[in-house]
Every structure is written in C-alpha cells, then in structure tokens.
Structure 1
Amino acid sequence: MYIPKAFQETDRDTLLQFIRDNSFGLLVTTGNDGVPIATHLPLELLPDTDGQFQLIGHLAKANPQWKLLGQATPALAIFSGPHSYISSSWYDHVNVPTWNYLAVQITGRTRLLTDDETLAFLRQQVDKHEAFSKHPISVESMTEEYVRKEMRGIVAFTISIDTLQGAAKLSQNRDDKNYQSIVSELQQTGNPNAIELAKEMVARRPTITE
C-alpha cells in the first residue's frame, strides 16, 4: 500500500500486535475471471510448525472464494484500527482537512487446512474469544459428531506472511501545538474511534497531554 515515509510503521512486533488487537480483517483475492473477491472475517495470527507466523481463518463453504485458496493463491489481508476525520479548523494556520488512521496489510500465499488442522484451529479460536464470556463454552463441550458435522459447512485456510506493511498516519508531521490541538479536538467529538485515535497519538508523543 502507499505509505508516505513519515507515516510508515516498520516495527514488526508492533505490526503483529496490531493484528492480534484488530483481528477482524478483510481477505482479498482475485477470481479466475480477474475480478477481485473480498470477505470480512476474523483472522488469527498463529505460529506454524517452523515457528513462523501465519494467518488462519475459515470461510463458509457457500462462499465461492474458498475454491481459490487451495492453489497457493496470492492473497491480501487488511486490518484497520481507529480512524477519524481531521478538520483543517483545528490548525493555527490555513491547511486542508485530512484523515488519520492505523492500518496493517499482509500479502502471502494461501493453503487449505486438513480436517484435523481445522479442528485444532477451531479449538484455539473458540477458547481465545470465549475467555471473555461469563459462561464460556469450548469445542470439547460439544460432541465430536456434532463438531465434525458443522465443520462440513466451512473451509479453513492459512496465509503465509510474505510482506507486512503498516501505516500510522497520526499527524506526526505537525508541531506540538497543532498536534495537541488535534488530540484535544478528537477527544471532544465523543466518537469512540476518534477518542481511541487521540489515545494513540498521546502514547506516541509524550510531550502531549490527554
């Protein structure tokens, strides 16, 4: 993706943690007819047998996109964080409005999982998200017959991480006075996205206050 140098996020650990924290992504592949296909879905960041990180997810078998994924298909996974409009009225000088945001993109090749790999992945995914439930369930709490039957309706896959890019467009090119003004204005919007963005801006420039 296009990222001006001032807004490039290059620390690998930071990028991987961003994916963990914003794991509902967009999977984009190109169909055999050349038309892009995209699906919104959770994608988990997990190590493979060699300890290298990969993305793992699953699609409904009714979704035709899965039929492409067994062919080492080039794929793009997009993860978005908080974002917000930045009004030019927040500066102490004439300027144009813009948009601040956090985003990470991965490109890689796909592979379909076996049934046993799919079952292991589902156990991990359910346990991860049920940890926040008042009454957590698990794959083990269901009969194997039921789980295997439900698995017939999905197709799980992995995406290798061949490229990893991050954009943190957070007004880094502004001086402290205008940076502080943007943070203050974002906090006053009452918009959860804008408020989260302001927190990230404060964390990245210690001279700025909330």
Structure 2
Amino acid sequence: MYVPKNFQEPDRDTLFQFVRDNSFALLVTTGDDGIPVATHLPIELLPGPDGKFQLVGHLAKANPQWKLLGRDTPALAVFSGAHSYISSSWYDHVNVPTWNYLSVHVTGRTNLLTADETLAFLRQQVDKYEVHSKHPVSVESMTEDYVRKEMRGIVAFTMEIDSMQGAAKLSQNRDDKNYQNIIAELRQKDDTDANEIATEMAARRVDNGQ
C-alpha cells in the first residue's frame, strides 16, 4: 500500500501486536481470471513449527476462494484499526480535510492445513475468543467428534509472512498546536473510533517527547 514516510509504522513488534488486536481481516487473492477475490474473516498471528510467526485462518468450503490458496501467487491480508474524519475547521489555517487511520497489510504465500492441524488451530481460536464469555465453550465441550464433523465445511490455511506494511496516519505532519487541537476535537465526538485515534495520537506525541 502507499504510505508516505511520515505515516509509516516500521516497528515489527508493533505491527504484530496490531494484528493480534485487530484480527478480523480482509483476505485478498487473485483468481485465474485476474479478478481479485476477498473474504472478511478472523486471522490469527501464531508461531509456526519453526518458531517464525505466520497467519492462520479458515474459510467456508462453500467459498470458492479457498481453491486459490496453496499457490505460488501471494495473498494479501488487510488488518484495519480505528479511523476518523479530520475536519479542516480544526486547524488554525486554511487546509483540506483528511482522514486519520491505522492499518497493516501482510503479504505471503499460503498453504492448506491437515485435519489434525485444523483441529489444533480451532482449539486455540475458540479458546481465544471465548475467554471473556460468561459461559465459555471449547472444542472439548462440543466434543471432538462433533467438531471434526463440522470441519468438513471449512478449509484452514497458513500464510508465511513475506512482507508487512504498517500505516499510522495520525497527523504527524502537524505542529503541536494543531495536533493537540485535533486530539481535543476527536475526544468531543461521540464515536469510539474517534476516541481511539485521539488516544493513539496523544500517546505517540508523548512518546516522541513533544
């Protein structure tokens, strides 16, 4: 993706944590006809057998996109975070409005998982998302036989990480007066994303000693 230098997020650990925190992603592959195919799905960042981190997810078997996995053509996973409109009325000078946002793009080649590998992945994934449930379920509580039967309807995959690009477009190009005013305006909005962007902006300006 196009990311101006001011807005690049180069720290790999920060990118990894962003993927963990924003795991509902968009998986994009290219069909034989050259037309992109995309599916929204949870994708997990997990260590592989060699200790290197990889992406792991699964598609419905009824979704023909799974047939494009396991090829030499790289796939793209897009992880999106908070975003918010930035009004030019918040500046002390004439300028155009813009949009602040957080995003990570990951490219890599995919491989399909075996049934046993898929079952192990589902255990991890269910445990992750059930941890805050009032009455958490697990693969064991559903019985392994039942889960293996349901697994016939999915195809699980891994993606080796060839490249990661992070965009943190957070008004870094503004002077401190305008930067702080943007934060104040965002915090006044009754909008979760706007407040998250304001919090991230405030933390980054403090971290940079400004």
TM-score class, shorter: over 0.9
Q: 1:205 is paired with a residue of what secondary structure?
A: helix
For residue 70 of structure 1, report the CA deviation from its aligned partner.
Answer: 2.4
For residue 207 of structure 1, report the CA deviation from its aligned partner.
Answer: 8.7
Aligned equivalents of 2:142, 2:42: Cα separation in 1: 22
Equivalent residue, structure 1, for 2:21: 21
Aligned equivalents of 1:105, 1:4: Cα separation in 2: 15
Could you state the TM-score of these two structures normalised by the residue count of structure 1? 0.97
Equivalent residue, structure 2, for 1:192: 192
The one-character-per-residue Cα deviations of 1:90-143 (angstroms, maximum 9, x if unpaired) are 000000000000000000000000000000000000001110101111101122
CA contact (8 A) 1:72 1:111 kept: no
Code of the aligned partner of 1:127: D
Equivalent residue, structure 2, for 1:164: 164
Q: 2:80 is paired with a residue of what secondary structure?
A: strand
Equivalent residue, structure 2, for 1:204: 204
Count of aligned residue pairs for this structure pair: 208
Structure 1 unmatched ranges of 5 or more: none
Aligned equivalents of 1:75, 1:192: Cα separation in 2: 31
Code of the aligned partner of 2:198: A
Aligned equivalents of 2:144, 2:104: Cα separation in 1: 37
- 1:141 lines up with 2:144 in the alignment: no
Code of the aligned partner of 2:61: K
* CA RMSD, Structure 1 to Structure 2 (Å): 1.2
Equivalent residue, structure 1, for 2:36: 36
Query: Structure 1 residues 35-44 or 69-78, which shifts more?
Result: 69-78
CA contact (8 A) 2:122 2:139 kept: yes
CA contact (8 A) 2:70 2:109 kept: no
Taking only the aligned residue pairs, the percentage that are identical comes to 77
Could you state the TM-score of these two structures normalised by the residue count of structure 2? 0.97
Equivalent residue, structure 2, for 1:113: 113
- 1:128 lines up with 2:128 in the alignment: yes
